Amino acid sequence: MKKTRTSVAAALMAVAGLSYMGWSGATANLAAKVPVEVVQPVTVDDFRLSDQNLHSHELRQLGDASAVVLITQANSCPVSRNTSAAVKALQEQYASKGVEFFMLNSTPIDKREAILAEAKSYGYSLPILMDSNQLVGEQLGVTRSAEAIVIDPKTWKIVYRGPIDDKVTYERQKAAAEHTWVKDALDAQLAGKPVAVARQEAVGCLVDFPERAKMATSKPTFVKDIAPMFEGKCVSCHEPGGIGPMPFTKFEEIAPFAPMIREMIRTQRMPPWRADPSIGHFLGDRSLSATQIKTLVHWVEAGAPRGTGPDPLAAKTFTAPEWPLGKPDLVLDIPAYTIPANGIVDYQRPYVVNPLKEGKWLRASTIKVVNRQTVHHILTGYLAEVPAPGQVANESKWGTSLGGYAVGAESFEEPVNTGAYIPPGGAIGFQVHYTPYGQEVTEHSQIALYFHKDKPKYVMRNSVVLNANIVIPANTESTELQAYIDVPKDMMLYGAFPHAHYRGASSQFWLIEPDGKKTLLVSLPHYDFNWQREYNFVQPVKVAAGSKLLAVYTYDNSVRNPANPDHNRVVPWGDQSFDEMLYTAFHYEWIGETSDKMDQYKAYDKEMNDNRLFGMLDSKMNGKLDLSELTGPIGKEFAASFAKIDTDHDGFIEPNELAAAQASMQKRHQAQQGAGSPAATAAPAGDKTGGGQ
């Protein structure tokens, strides 16, 4: 490691024409600021950060770039602002040569909204990575804004760090030949040559890293700082019988994994909570706080010291309970299924006869699986009739959901005094997605049901925003697609469950009110197919009649996506994980509905779900469809009959015209070839529309 002691004020005070005393992030008396010795690394460690647009970026996924440039940025810093033209020129010259450009904001006071405004005002068109925990800036040895760090992605060595060009250096009077700027460093990097001058002092605004001084005098220990954190956030998964791959129940089990823990935290693979911490507040939040994240990483970087005294974890016994919600009122065995070692297993749709002799109000459920490696998900739904021999318990016939399963989302509890009604008789249908993993196994899953003793006052319902018309282009790093659903009656929204497959990169769930106001309810900058769950609001969200619920997803169908099965394939909607989905389930209750007057509210469910197809196709979100929007497998079917569907001949298809055309097409397809057409099956009625995950 190369060490350097940064100078404090001389460079800043000498920059012609710039006043730093007005910068809100600077120290009031720069000359009195005592610098902390900062280690400037030779290489950069992997990290993942979200940008101002809530898209996530991991450094090591840029290994195919010719160079990666990080430019430190701080809002209101005049030096940062003065770099915008130079950065734009570099992008225009080098982006086509495979160079990736990012800004890095390690100033915690700069929140996302302010960064968005700054980017708009000063023309930053590149992603601004929000290093709110300062861990990336710390590791890189950042001290000032407007510093460029050029990285060789083949070795992850820092080949240059310093000012962008001579316009932001205080030594303007010296000949440019005596210096190396970013352009020179990139030319050398692209030519496979060493950079002439690999290190120059940055002269931007000071960025304060208070943890540096703290770490110099006091380091966290396992006994005092880390053990309580693991008990509160980690052991419930990392215990015998838990879903974690290894136990973390004492120091001797945790310490050997310290370097991996640091990497998992810095790349945001752990903890398995994907909701952006700046958007919303959720029940059962499994994330670590900013303080916990920094403490954990700094503990590892300090050598993972144990500290003195007894191990607080080792003194306790941890074992995952068979049923985390306690003794069930009823346990149903999902029909066993043998999964082959290899190949593709079609979705299985078994059912069990409902043993209830009287109706019950469901308050919670847990699905327990034996082989987590092979069970990707399980969905459930009540069937009013037991399927006849040979019939499939298809989702289009489902009513009330009894809960579901995905790794990390195994239990569901209804809000207080709220439930879902399960009638007597009929059957319980399941949709199960099994994934072979190289070993033949037989799965015996079970579902535990918990009932209210007394009838609850309110009724929980569920629906979904989906787009079965999606097409993901091949070899494309970022494709954004969306769908919405119209809300016909005032509702209370309790939670959302975003879902895509291997190419899913990010997900957002928006509320658009009748006056056009947009509120972001859930944001997953880093969608992770391996960890899926419902995000339930601490405070339910009131949704007014006439609002829209909008789901926006981005997909990475490029070689940079390590989970991508085939980046050369054009990917359609499909059940299997090698296809894709745009699917956000949500739970809600109609305002005014109680368990004593349920029937009169069913019409609102039907009205909302019947309009789902229009929300798939209306990409312009203006309440009418033109020919340019009728793309994809579903849209093309309607485009072929556009003139006939447009009964008022105004050049657009309105919702009522689309509904009439859809009904006509359903009848025709059912008569001729069954309900196999995408357009015919795009939006069947029922709470569990759209099939599974």
The answer to whether residues 693 and 433 touch, using CB atoms and an 8 Å cutoff, is yes
The reported pLDDT for the residue numbered 10 is: 33
Nearest by Cα to 72 from 15, 98, 110? 110
Each as own residue / partner, the long-range contacts of residues 254-259 (CB below 8 Å, 24 or more positions apart, any chain) are 254/222, 254/226, 254/230, 255/222, 255/304, 255/306, 258/299, 258/300, 258/304, 259/300
**53, amino acid identity:** N
The answer to whether residues 551 and 508 touch, using CB atoms and an 8 Å cutoff, is yes
The reported pLDDT for the residue numbered 45 is: 97
Whether residue 17 has pLDDT greater than 70? no
- The mean per-residue pLDDT over the stretch 99-126 comes to 96
Band (pLDDT 50/70/90 cuts) for residue 677 is very low
Query: 3-class SS at 273?
Result: coil
**Tokens encoding 104:** 């890095």
- The mean per-residue pLDDT over the stretch 294-314 comes to 97
Residues 6+ apart with CB under 8 A from 374: 339, 434, 435, 436, 437, 441, 443
The reported pLDDT for the residue numbered 120 is: 95
Find how far residue 91's CA is from the centre of its chain.
28
Q: Report pLDDT digits (tens) over 585-600.
A: 999 999 999 998 888 8
Whether residue 507 has pLDDT greater than 90? yes
| E strand or H helix that includes residue 91 | helix 84-94
Query: 3-class SS at 87?
Result: helix
Nearest by Cα to 65 from 558, 508, 633? 558
The CATH number of domain 330-456, selected from 2.60.120.230, 3.50.50.100, 1.10.10.10, 3.40.50.10360? 2.60.120.230
Average pLDDT for the chain:
89
Q: Where are the alpha helices (DSSP H) in 141-181?
A: none
The answer to whether residues 68 and 149 touch, using CB atoms and an 8 Å cutoff, is no
High-pLDDT (> 70) share of the chain, %: 90
Whether residue 649 has pLDDT greater than 60? yes
- The mean per-residue pLDDT over the stretch 654-659 comes to 96
Q: Where are the alpha helices (DSSP H) in 365-404?
A: none
**Tokens encoding 273:** 């909570």
Q: What is the rounded (10 degree) CA torsion for 252, 256, 258, 260?
A: -140
The answer to whether residues 79 and 164 touch, using CB atoms and an 8 Å cutoff, is no
Band (pLDDT 50/70/90 cuts) for residue 294 is very high
The reported pLDDT for the residue numbered 36 is: 64
Nearest by Cα to 431 from 46, 171, 688? 688
Q: How far apart are CA 495 and CA 540, in angstroms?
A: 8
The domain locations on the chain are 2-213, 219-301, 330-456, 461-681
Beta strands in 198-307 (DSSP E): none
pTM for this prediction: 0.90
CATH code, 461-681: 2.60.120.230
Nearest by Cα to 550 from 520, 527, 530? 520
- The fold of 2-213 is Glutaredoxin (3.40.30)
Residue bearing tokens 């005002």 = 121
Nearest by Cα to 70 from 97, 90, 54, 55? 90
Nearest by Cα to 466 from 194, 682, 249? 682
- Bin 98: left if φ > 0, else alpha if -120 < ψ < 50, else beta: left
The reported pLDDT for the residue numbered 214 is: 85
| E strand or H helix that includes residue 254 | helix 251-254
Whether residue 384 has pLDDT greater than 50? yes
The reported pLDDT for the residue numbered 691 is: 35
Q: How far apart are CA 220 and CA 254, in angstroms?
A: 15
Which residue(s) pair with 418 in the sheet? Answer: 458
HEC sequence for 400-468: CCCCEEECCECEEECCCCEEEEECCCCEEEEEEEECCCCCCEEECCEEEEEECCCCCCEECEEEEEECC
The answer to whether residues 430 and 688 touch, using CB atoms and an 8 Å cutoff, is no
**Tokens encoding 323:** 């049923």
- The mean per-residue pLDDT over the stretch 620-635 comes to 96
Q: What is the rounded (10 degree) CA torsion for 448, 345, 407, 689?
A: -70
Whether residue 170 has pLDDT greater than 50? no
Q: Report pLDDT digits (tens) over 474-490.
A: 999 999 999 999 999 99
Local structure of residue 490 (DSSP, 8 states): -
Distance (Å) of CA 39 to CA 26, 30, 138, 139, 377:
21, 21, 9, 8, 46
Q: Report pLDDT digits (tens) over 393-449.
A: 888 889 899 999 987 788 999 999 999 999 999 999 999 999 999 999 999 999 999
Whether residue 25 has pLDDT greater than 60? no
Nearest by Cα to 124 from 157, 146, 150? 146
Q: How far apart are CA 409 and CA 406, in angstroms?
A: 5
2-213 and 461-681, same CATH topology:
no
HEC sequence for 346-366: CCECCEEECCCCCCEEEEEEE
**Tokens encoding 76:** 């209101």
From 157-161, 245-249, 679-683, the region with the lowest mean pLDDT = 679-683
Whether residue 33 has pLDDT greater than 50? no
Band (pLDDT 50/70/90 cuts) for residue 673 is low
Band (pLDDT 50/70/90 cuts) for residue 688 is very low
The answer to whether residues 447 and 332 touch, using CB atoms and an 8 Å cutoff, is yes
Cis geometry, peptide bond prior to residue 271 (ω within 30 degrees of 0): yes
Residue bearing tokens 């205080």 = 170
**120, amino acid identity:** K
